[in-house]
Amino acid sequence: MATDLSTLIRSEAPLSARQKVHLVWMLSIPTILAQITTIAMEYIDAAMVGSLGAAASASIGVVASTTWLFGGIGSAVTYGFSVQIAQAIGAGDEAAAKRIFRHGMIVVIGFAALMGLLGVVLHGALPRVLGAEESLWHDAAAYFMVFSLFMPIRQLNFYCGASLQASGNTRTPGILNMMMCFLDVFFNVFLIFPTGHFRIGAWGLPGAGLGVMGAALGTGAAEIVSCTLMLYFAAIRSEKLKIQRDGQFRLDAHTQEKALRISIPIALEQGVLSGAMIATTGIVAPLGTVAVAANSFGITAESFCYMPGYGLEAAATTLVGQAVGARRKDLVKSFSWITTALGIAIMTLTGMLMYVVCPWVFAFLTPDPAVQELGVRVLRIELFAEPLFAASIVATGALRGIGDTLIPSIMNLVSIWGVRLTLAWFLAPHYGLVGVWIAMCVELCFRGIIFLIRLARS
């Protein structure tokens, strides 16, 4: 189905509602499974670090918002080209898709290198600026430095995966992302813990004993393997993207201009989202190590609920983008609403499941009873927002496929800074971390409503 996606969309034959749902589902399944696997591995990753103590978890939690900011801005650059790839393939212009892919690769690598350099420069001062306790500074700075060094590899991996998805191939990126997660855990075993921590019979496995820095290095090593394979399948094997010997790498002004129109609002949106997370870290950090660790584990636990939504977001961008390229306005509308409805349904179910099982999830993530108790308490508050959170996630992907990125970015700015941070700032002094997560729940509901309104009017 994915292989013939562009041909199917370009045809003038009408699709029944059942066919549309089946197409959405088949395109989404590999990405959703990859996201679920990613979360499962992140749980294991967090548990590995959590076994070192609350301080180790808090060290990563302190810089997590900044890593999201850097990754989010990098992903904005990627979307500037992947959306164009989807529209070009939908229009049947595979030569243009190949050209856009080549040009995007140059820009993504160059931009990621600059971001990585900036991160290396800032890493030492970052934990102190974010208000972390002095005992967390060393590990937090080391983790962020390693993260920054791997920025070009990480973004190239994401770009090739997004380009394959835009071409209608979600299976390959899904499989490779799952493989990367397993490799992350494998490398962590040898890099986080000292020799003999894990044993096979009488033989102790070798280990570097690098702790928090080992977690960052393990992820980086897994990304190198995944990026190599992702680049191979996109640039060599893909009939719609592959780089040919006579292909020009000269930057095309029209492509760059259109990429900027798409990317800049998304970059601002990611800056707003991640900047808000950094500001939230500044609100949470003074509440103490237990609150920082519980906040970090709460975000990790909740990701099980919303990652399927991001899988459907990717499908929405691909389907809507190709429908726009094929000038199928009927499919643009129906694909937008079908993907959004499926996202709401799935995230409602995952939210209900997490509400029940979250005590066991936190027991797995950390041995600290105080962190477990606070984490469960705040996560259960936020889970009531999952249906509308899903609406905002998937609707964003559909609007992105249309090329509508500026207004959604402004909506995110108003929602997060005007609602979440304002409420968190007022509630945190009185209710601690619980107040911060109440503010998050209210804001996610508000954001979902305004994105549904925007989708209806698009």
Q: Provide the pLDDT for residue 347.
A: 94
Q: Provide the pLDDT for residue 341.
A: 94
HSE (side-chain half, CA atoms, 13 Å) at 320: 29
Q: What is the pLDDT of residues 12-21, one digit of tens each?
A: 667 777 777 8
Name which residue leads in pLDDT, 391 or 63: 391
Break the chain into its structural domains and give their ranges.
5-457
- 199 φ/ψ angles, rounded to the nearest 5 degrees: -130, 145
Beta bridge partners of residue 204, listed in sequence order? 199
Give the whole-angstrom CA distance, residue 52 versus residue 259: 44
Give the whole-angstrom CA distance, residue 375 versus residue 205: 32
Give the whole-angstrom CA distance, residue 74 versus residue 162: 12
Residues 6+ apart with CB under 8 A from 424: 280, 283, 435, 436, 439, 440
Give the whole-angstrom CA distance, residue 144 versus residue 141: 5
Bridge-based pairing of strands 199-200 and 203-204 is antiparallel
Q: What is the pLDDT of residues 99-119, one digit of tens each?
A: 899 989 999 999 999 999 999
Q: Provide the pLDDT for residue 40.
A: 66
In 3D, which of 386, 398, 401, 385 has the Cα closest to residue 454? Answer: 398
CB 75 within 8 A of CB 274: no
Cα separation values, 299 from 46, 251, 305, 364, Å:
11, 39, 10, 15
Tokens of 15: 């699709």
Residues 6+ apart with CB under 8 A from 90: 6, 9, 10, 321, 322, 323, 324, 325, 326
- No. of H helices and E strands in the chain? 17, 2
Name which residue leads in pLDDT, 50 or 76: 76
235 DSSP 8-state letter: I
Q: Provide the pLDDT for residue 6.
A: 53
- Specify the amino acid at residue 150: F
Q: Provide the pLDDT for residue 3.
A: 41
Report H helices in 366-417.
369-382, 386-402, 406-415
Q: What percent of the chain has pLDDT over 70?
A: 93
Q: What is the pLDDT of residues 394-410, one digit of tens each?
A: 999 999 888 888 898 89
Indicate left, alpha or beta for 58 from its phi (over 0: left) and psi (-120 to 50: alpha).
Answer: alpha
